[in-house]
Amino acid sequence: MMPIFTARLLLAAAALIGLLLLAPMLSEAQETPPLPHQQWSFDGVFGTYDKAAMQRGFQVYKQICSACHPVKHLYFRDLQALGYTPDQVEAIAASDQCTDGPNDQGQMYQRPCRPSDPIPGPFPNDQAARAANGGALPPDLSMIVKAREGGPDYVYGILNGFKPAPAGFQVAPGKYYNEYFPGHQIAMPPPLSQGAVTFADGTQATVPQMAHDVATFLAWASEPMLDVRHRIGVRVFLFLIVGVGIFYAAKRKIWAPVH
C-alpha cells in the first residue's frame, strides 16, 4: 500500500511543479509571439554584410528613421563600408548640415557636413527629442541591434508588428499597438508604408523589404567589424589546418628511424 501511495504523491508533486514552471511560459507565449526569424546575409561563421542591402537600409534610415532617431556612433566616413566611394561619401555628408564653431564672434554656426563629422541626429538633446515625441524617447539606433534581444529580428519584428489592437485591449492615446514591443504599446507611429522610398537599384519598396534592409544597415552599425572578424577567422582556421598537416608530416619524418 505504502509504495503506491508514495509514488502517487510524487507524481502529483511533479505535475504541480511542472504546471507552476510552465504556467508563466504559457501566458508569456500568448502575450508576445516569438519574433519571426529572418535569413540574414551576416548569419553564421561565413556571413558578411550585403552591401546593396546596407545601402538601401541607409536610404530608409536617412529618409524615414532619421526624422526621430539618431545614429550616435556613426561618422559619415564610416559609410565607405557600405560600398560608397570617397566622393559619394563626401556628397552624402555635404547634403547634411553640421554645427561648428564657435566663430570669431563666439557664435556656433551651420555648415555642410564633412566625412570626418559624426552623422548629426534630429534633436539637439534628449529633452527636445521627448518633447517632440509625446514624452517618449526615440532611442539611438546605432547600437539597437546589439542592445535588444533578438537583434535584427527584433528591429524587423517591430517594424512589421503594427496591427489593429485585439478586442478589449485599450491602447493609450499617442500609442500604437505593436505585436512585438514589450507591453504592446509603442509611442512610435508605424514608420514604414509601401513605396515610402524609391530604391535606386529598382528593388520594390515593400514594408518587409525596407524593414529587412534597414535592419541589415543597423546590424552593421552595431557591429561594423563582423566582416573583418569572419574573414580573419576563416584565415586562421585555414592556417591551423595547414599547420597541423605540416607538423604531422614533420613528426612522421623525425620519428621514422625509430619505427
Nearer to ligand HEC, 54 or 192 (CB): 192
Per CB under 6 A, contacts with ligand HEC among 68-87 are 68-69
Q: Does residue 152 touch ligand HEC according to CB under 6 A? A: no
Report yes or no: 93 and 112 within 8 Å, Cβ to Cβ: yes
Left (φ > 0), alpha (ψ -120 to 50) or beta: where does 101 sit?
A: left
Among 98, 188, 197, 205, contact with ligand HEC (rule: CB under 6 A): 188
Among 82, 158, 205, 221, contact with ligand HEC (rule: CB under 6 A): 158
Query: x/- contact string, 191-230, with ligand HEC (CB under 6 A)?
Result: xx---------------------x----------------
Other C-beta atoms within 10 Å of 154: how many? Answer: 19
In one letter, which amino acid is 171? V
Task: Give the C-alpha separation, 218 to 64, whole Å.
Answer: 14
Cell 525596407 appears where? Answer: 210
Report yes or no: 118 and 74 within 8 Å, Cβ to Cβ: yes
Q: Does residue 144 touch ligand HEC according to CB under 6 A? A: yes
Nearer to ligand HEC, 169 or 248 (CB): 169
Minimal distance in Å, beta carbon 168 to ligand HEC? 21
Task: Give the C-alpha separation, 82 to 56, whole Å.
Answer: 10
Q: Does residue 67 touch ligand HEC according to CB under 6 A? A: yes
Among 54, 60, 93, 221, contact with ligand HEC (rule: CB under 6 A): 60
**Near ligand HEC by CB under 6 A, which window of 41-49, 66-74, 113-121, 225-233?**
66-74
Among 92, 93, 119, 155, contact with ligand HEC (rule: CB under 6 A): 155
Nearer to ligand HEC, 18 or 34 (CB): 34
Left (φ > 0), alpha (ψ -120 to 50) or beta: where does 87 sit?
A: alpha
φ, ψ at 180 (rounded to 5°): -105, 0
Nearer to ligand HEC, 76 or 123 (CB): 123
Angle (CA) 104-74-226 rounded to 5° is 155
Minimal distance in Å, beta carbon 29 to ligand HEC? 20
Residues ≥6 apart with Cβ < 8 Å to 70: 119, 120, 121, 122, 123, 140, 141, 142
The set of cell numbers assigned to 190 is 508605424
Task: Estimate to the nearest angstrom the gap between the alpha carbon of 13 and the chain centroid.
Answer: 43
Nearer to ligand HEC, 98 or 159 (CB): 159
- Report the interface residues with ligand HEC, using CB under 6 A: 60, 64-65, 67-69, 133, 136, 138-139, 144, 148, 155, 158-159, 186-189, 191-192, 214
